[in-house]
Amino acid sequence: MRILVVEDDEVAAEYVRKGLMEAGHVVDRASDGELGLEMAKVADYDALILDRMLPKRDGLSLLGALREDGDSTPVLILSALGEVDQKVEGLRAGGDDYLAKPYSFTELLARVEAIGRRSDPTAAVTKLKAGDMEMDLLARTVKRGDQKIFLQPREFRLLECLMRHAGRVVTRTMLLEKVWDYHFDPQTNVIDVHVSRLRAKIDKNFETPMLHTVRGAGYRLQA
């Protein structure tokens, strides 16, 4: 697990870092709130350990900014303030757990691993978006604007592939592999036909077309 520890106290930080590393985690450390926020935004951590009182930017403010940003990395808040109301405040601010100092390292480890486990790494994407188009992989439905679009299985796979690479060109070879599982050139125009059919459904009755031909290269779905 990749963990970021935001703690100004040198000794405490080192203590925690060492212990987490021994437990097999990768640990970074930030010494103040501003730096912590930067690092959390840039890198992709599995969990954050956040001291509540920090230089430059306190823990709750950092947490708030992060959540504002749509970041849902699990956060364990550390604090010398053991008051019940403080804990409540911390949890309400979007924290996943709250630990009052002094704490035992064993407990900290257990808690971090508990909150980290939650953010399921196997959690898959179930919805794809591109422009005003939205695809629900589980319901197998597609909408453009608020217009439902009904696709055949092959058309669905074709659009899925295009959406997964929205904005970039998808070559014919790629399509044959991803959508048809062909690992050779079938010497026919299957792709053209299905692209044509897809276009009729997703672009025909709309202002701006999304599916563009990139002559000599393939197709691109505009985001």
Partner DNA sequence: TTTCAACATGAAAATTTTGTCATGTTTTGG
Partner DNA sequence: CCAAAACATGACAAAATTTTCATGTTGAAA
Binding site for DNA (CB under 7 A): 152-155, 172, 180, 186, 188-190, 192-196, 199-200, 213-218
Helices 33-42 and 59-68, axial angle in degrees (round to 10): 30
Closer CB to a copy of itself, residue 7 or residue 160? 160
For a copy of itself, the closer CB: 103 or 180: 103
- Which neighbouring-strand residues pair with 84? none
Q: Does 148 bind a copy of itself (CB under 8 A)?
A: no
Q: Which of 92, 148, 183, 215 binds a copy of itself (CB under 8 A)?
A: 92
Q: Where are the beta strands (DSSP E) in 2-94?
A: 2-6, 26-30, 47-51, 75-79
121-148 burial: b if 16+ Cβ within 10 Å, else e: eeeeeeebebeebbbeeeeeebebeeee
Cα-based angle 47, 52, 56 (whole degrees, multiple of 5): 100
- Residue 216 contact, options a copy of itself, DNA, none, Cβ 5-8 Å cut-off depending on partner type: DNA
Residue 124: CB minimum distance to a copy of itself, A: 5
Considering the rule CB under 8 A, would residue 24 count as an interface residue with a copy of itself?
no
Please pick, from the candidates 126, 147, 189, 205, the single residue that binds a copy of itself as defined by CB under 8 A.
126
Q: Collapse the DSSP code of 58 into the 3-class scheme (helix H, G, I; strand E, B; otherwise coil) and give the result.
A: coil
Give the contacts of 120 (CB within 8 A, at least 6 positions apart): none
CB closer to DNA out of 113 and 203: 203
For residue 165, give the 3-state DSSP assignment. Answer: coil
Nearer to a copy of itself, 11 or 123 (CB): 123
Site residue total, a copy of itself (CB under 8 A): 25
Structure tokens at 50: 């956040």
Nearer to a copy of itself, 99 or 198 (CB): 99
Interacting residue ranges for a copy of itself, rule: CB under 8 A: 84-85, 87-88, 91-92, 95-97, 103-104, 106-107, 110-111, 113-114, 118, 120, 123-124, 126, 137-138, 153
